[in-house]
Amino acid sequence: MNHLGEEDLILHYYGEDDDPSEAGRHLEECSECRSLFASLQSALDAVDCAPVPERDAEYGARVWRRIESRLESRPKPWLWSNPWRWAAAGVAFAGLLAAAFLAGRFLPGRPAPAVAADSQVRERILLVAVGDYLERSQMVLIELANANSGGGLDISAQQARAEDLVSETRLYRQTAARTGDGAVAGLLEELERVLVDITHEPARLSPEAVDKLRERLQSEGILFKIRVLGSKVQREEAPDEPSARQKL
Amino acid sequence: MEQTDAALVGQARAGDPDAFRLLVERHARSLFGLAYRMTGNESDAEDVVQESFLRAYRQLKSFDERAGFGTWLYRIAVNGSLDLIRSRGRRMEAFAPAGDDAVDLVAETPSKDASPERLALSGEIRQRMVAGMARLSANERAAFALRHFEGMRIEELSRVLGCQPGAARHSVFRAVQKLRRALEPAVGTVK
């Protein structure tokens, strides 16, 4: 049996591997994998040392007292459920900063723009925003690329998320274009096209349509390109961390 | 005899507020644990718990009885936590080691019989854990919290997160990889 990869070991740790006995046998026989698994176990066991603040048995009753009077009132928006206001503020803020980020990050040697380029805090916030945006885009595409097309597929959830991502993509693309970063602008244009097309598909795809979409994602290599861009952002986000190469 | 969630949901739907009170009392503590793991902040976690129950109450009519009430509630709380984290741009600060609850986590007194060296290591691990959690994206944090702390299987947590199992698995992998990278120097010393 080949050595176990990191993902195999993670699944084994959580008891979610397809054949735990096979992985167990391999770990008994292979000292290298055993050592890697022990290292993974130590790290994951250590995670449990961060405690959750205790809530006593009366906590539920206190929650009830706090919400009781609001149950019959007219539904109010969630504390955080005004997505458009948040989104508008976020987009506006990102727009102010994106110029500095895109122009300064992906084309080494280009003079940094004056706009906010000296603000490390702002840059980190933007990096987080761009990182999240790229990850969310990637997740939508991964879900579609890995979907089982057997009896057709309901993609309404992915469509809703793709729709949300389109406006963000447009913002970042326009900023990249303005700052002369053609490569990033090109990639974002490609991503925007894919996302828009996904939103225009019927909510329920036939098996053939799923296969066609999957083929398109594969042939255009859009997932790979997003991953590369995402890795760049991650490296910028955590410059003090070791390289992404895993020891496992 | 204790009534099942399904029975209480039925009564609450019929307009019995006491039934919903029992559901709140039954699930509030576990929901707080989940919300705290996700937001990294007691006050935010409290907000998430309250808003989740309010939302659940308002959407009770649309609750699909084939799903477990707990799973449905978790999904609401996860979405609420994700929205909170994203809307406040708190990926970095929610678990920030300076100036919030995280300091208390790090400073919390470990067992009395621990050696000074062990105490220092324990503190270091916690600091690294906090830093590692701050590096996770909202999706990764949710997937990890559900898998690792709540013991939810990937298939089930994908339903809570509203994504495909493959995507949920990917989020768990990435979270573990990031946390492992953050913890490895300290954990290596402990071994």
How many Cβ pairs within 8 Å bridge chains A and B? Answer: 162
B1-90, CATH topology level: Rna Polymerase Sigma Factor; Chain: A (1.10.1740)
Q: How many angstroms away from the CA of A220 is the closest CA of chain B?
A: 20
CA distances for B106 relative to A193, B73, B183, angstroms? 46, 30, 14
Paired tokens of A201: 């598909």
- Which residue among A50, A52, A90 sits closest to B129, beta carbon to beta carbon? A50
CA nearest to A135 within chain B = B137
Name which residue leads in pLDDT, B148 or A206: B148
Q: What is the pLDDT of residue A242?
A: 44
Instruction: Break chain A into its structural domains and give their ranges.
Output: 1-76, 83-237
What confidence category does residue B53 fall into, taking pLDDT thresholds of 50, 70 and 90?
Answer: very high
pLDDT at A248 over 50: no
Give the list of residues 6+ apart from residue A72 with CB closer than 8 angstroms, or none: none
Q: What's the CA gap between A11 and B32, in Å, rounded?
A: 27
Half-sphere exposure of A146 (CA within 13 A, CB side): 15
Inter-chain residue contact B58 with A79, CB threshold 8 Å = no
Q: How many angstroms away from the CA of B3 is the closest CA of chain A?
A: 17
Give per-residue pLDDT as tens, A199-232: 778 778 888 888 888 888 877 788 888 888 877 7
pLDDT at B110 over 50: no
Minimum mean pLDDT range among A68-82, A221-235, B50-64:
A68-82
Mean pLDDT of B80-106: 54
DSSP E strands: which ranges in chain A?
153-154, 204-205
Q: CB distance from A245 to chain B under 8 Å?
A: no
A2 burial class (0-12, 13-18, 19+ CB within 10 angstroms)?
exposed
Q: What's the CA gap between B154 and B150, in Å, rounded?
A: 11
Choose the mutation target among B16, B23, B24 for the interface with A, i.e. most A CBs under 10 Å.
Answer: B24
A4-24 burial by CB neighbour count: b if 16+ within 10 A, else e? bebbbbbbbbbeebeeeeebe
Task: Point out which residues pair with A150 in neighbouring strands.
Answer: A152
Nearest to A164 by CA among A139, A190, A185: A139
Inter-chain residue contact B138 with A132, CB threshold 8 Å = yes
Contact residues, B window 9-38, toward A, CB-based 8 Å cutoff? 17, 20-21, 24-29, 32-33, 36-37
Q: What is the pLDDT of residue B4?
A: 92
- Which residue among A40, A64, A139 sits closest to B21, beta carbon to beta carbon? A64
Q: CB distance from B185 to chain A under 8 Å?
A: no
Inter-chain residue contact A80 with B87, CB threshold 8 Å = yes
- Which residue among B162, B169, B186 sits closest to A157, beta carbon to beta carbon? B162
Percent of chain B whose predicted confidence (pLDDT) is above 70: 79
pTM across the whole model: 0.53
Give per-residue pLDDT as tens, A92-144: 555 555 655 555 555 454 444 544 445 565 555 666 677 777 888 888 888 78
Q: What is the CATH number of domain B92-191?
A: 1.10.10.10
Instruction: Break chain B into its structural domains and give their ranges.
Output: 1-90, 92-191
Q: What is the pLDDT of residue B47?
A: 92
Q: What is the pLDDT of residue B1?
A: 67
Q: What's the CA gap between B181 and B159, in Å, rounded?
A: 28
Mean pLDDT of B11-16: 90
Q: What is the pLDDT of residue B38?
A: 86
Choose the mutation target among B62, B122, B137 for the interface with A, i.e. most A CBs under 10 Å.
Answer: B137
Q: Is A154 helix (H, G, I), strand (E, B) or coil?
A: strand
Strand A153-154 relative to strand A204-205, pairing: antiparallel
